[in-house]
Amino acid sequence: MNGKQEFRGLKGLKKQRRIQIVALAVVALIGSTALIGYAMRDGINFFRSPSQVVAEPPDAGETFRIGGLVVEGSIIRGEGTEVAFAVTDTNATVPVRYTGVLPDLFSEGQGMVALGRMEGETFVATEVLAKHDETYMPKEVMDALKEQGVYQDPES
């Protein structure tokens, strides 16, 4: 082999190596995008009011947030940390079942948001959040109650 043929061979190898690196980078980018999308699919939880849950029941196994006011007289404590209660937006009421420690400020007639899924007619919560002071109510709950015409903003 003479010097020119050897140089062309090296030039072809460099070009081939560059193509392989670009192809590998594209495959890595597609793979990482797919993994991020797969990981985030459970991280997106939509909020629904009790009226929306009753009107359009969610798909079986779909995780979502439900919020409203805890119905007066609906809290029933079971064995251990089991508790059942109902949540309403004044137009519809959904029974909720939860196993765990409820927030200190959780009480009847107060705003709350729970994360979980429907099992039959009952919402089974994995997490329950309650208001943290006298004037705060979760934004989603406030918006749903305003739509129903039952919430008056204390600041207005």
- Give 85-110 pLDDT, tens digit per residue: 999 988 899 999 999 988 888 888 88
Among all chains, which residue has been given the structure tokens 């939509």? Answer: 46
Q: Is the pLDDT of residue 132 over 60?
A: no
Element (H, E) at 118: strand 111-119
In whole angstroms, give the CA distance from residue 87 to residue 71.
6
For the segment 70-83, the average pLDDT, to the nearest whole number, is 90
In whole angstroms, give the CA distance from residue 111 to residue 106.
8
Binning pLDDT at 50, 70 and 90, where does residue 84 land? very high
The reported pLDDT for the residue numbered 59 is 83
The reported pLDDT for the residue numbered 146 is 74
Binning pLDDT at 50, 70 and 90, where does residue 125 land? very high
The reported pLDDT for the residue numbered 105 is 83
The reported pLDDT for the residue numbered 22 is 93
The reported pLDDT for the residue numbered 151 is 60
62 alpha carbon, distance to own chain's centre: 10
For the segment 110-131, the average pLDDT, to the nearest whole number, is 89
Q: Is the pLDDT of residue 48 over 80?
A: yes
Please indicate whether residue 66 or residue 133 has the higher confidence score (pLDDT).
66
For the segment 47-70, the average pLDDT, to the nearest whole number, is 88
Q: SS3 sequence, the chain?
A: CCHHHHHHHHHHHHHHHHHHHHHHHHHHHHHHHHHHHHHHCCCCCEEECHHHHHHCCCCCCCCEEEEEEECCCCCEECCCCEEEEEEECCCCEEEEEEECCCCCCCCCCCEEEEEEEEECCEEEEEEEEECCCCCCCCHHHHHHHHHHCCCCCCCC
Question: Hey, what amino acid is at 18?
Answer: R
Please indicate whether residue 118 or residue 135 has the higher confidence score (pLDDT).
118
For the segment 135-152, the average pLDDT, to the nearest whole number, is 65
